[in-house]
Amino acid sequence: MGTPAGPGDFRRTRGTSRTCPVGLDFRAVGRSAAFFDLDKTVIAKSSALAFGRPFYRDGLITRRDVVKSAYAQLMFRLGGTDEQTMARTRDYLATLCKGWPVEQVRQIVAETLHELINPYVYAEAAALIEEHQAAGRDVVLVSASGEEMVRPIGELLGVTDVIATRMAVADGRYSGEVEFYAAGPRKVDAVGELALERGYDLADSYAYSDSYSDRPLLECVGHPTVVNPDRALRRLAVENSWPVLEFRHPVPLGRRLRERPAVPVAAAALGVGVGVAIGIAWYGRHRRTRAAATPTV
């Protein structure tokens, strides 16, 4: 046999148009996994947006950051799959988080997770995760948001593992460097590493996302499915005859455990990091509106 390939070494697998890591006979191993993007795929909002308000409240973000973050958000939406745009977004996030105490971030996430994330988990996504687990597949969240946010959400959902952006840490604070930015093709690098480590057959694995920026992730597996897709991804799905799912029912996980949805997830088929600024802006407007509505004495 030849030398096993490194994590970034991909090839076309015979019998499929997907790109999968070489070096292992995945079908002989016989394991598969389901990879889920997080924002707008599993939860009905941006995870970064969700934690924006408590970050602002606790002084991690200033009003000046609102303008910078809004620009970064706009650039990402206009050209998120462009390598230059992703690099600028990555560098901006690193600068924004520089000096934040890691434990403070973890504490904020732990204290607000059930309030900010739990009510917004799509019932359809939770059911689909359970279906994959019942079939014996590992389930992995793959998100460009920071690991300190994504891993607790993964624990809440009961998934096997998470792939997320990792910030460098020095003396208990973010140093302003990014160790790994989980966006675009880099998601596929991480998925490839995990597949080699655990013996996943990517040609028999599944991936779900709402964004065209995750095209490399979707093309890496044998069973790609788009969820609540943006226009570009919907067009790509139609061109490739990929299934399209529409998730519309965010339900608190605690309630979902008591009330299983009556309609199977499959019936929803229709056929073949960064958003912190919006949350801060909303919070600022909300506070001003409340202040204006409060009568003075």
SS3 269: strand
Cα–Cα distances (Å) from 32 to 109, 131, 157, in that order, read: 31, 13, 19
- Residues pairing with 5 in the sheet: none
- Catalytic residue, from 9, 25, 39, 230: name it: 39
Q: What gap in Å lies between CA 142 and CA 185, rounded to an integer?
A: 12
Q: Tokens standing for 36?
A: 């889920």
- Catalytic residue, from 37, 201, 204, 214: name it: 37
The packing angle between helices 63-79 and 83-97, to 10°, is: 160
- Residues pairing with 156 in the sheet: none
Is residue 77 within 8 A of residue 284, CB to CB? The reply is: no
Residue 3 is classified by DSSP as P
Cα–Cα distances (Å) from 234 to 32, 91, 104, 186, in that order, read: 25, 29, 39, 22
User: Active site includes 189?
Assistant: no
User: Active site includes 39?
Assistant: yes
- How many other β-carbons are positioned within 10 Å of the β-carbon of residue 109? 23
Q: What gap in Å lies between CA 223 and CA 241, rounded to an integer?
A: 11
* Angle at alpha carbon of residue 12, lines to 11 and 15, rounded to 5°: 150
Cα–Cα distances (Å) from 141 to 34, 64, 187, 257, in that order, read: 9, 32, 11, 20
Active site residues: 37, 39
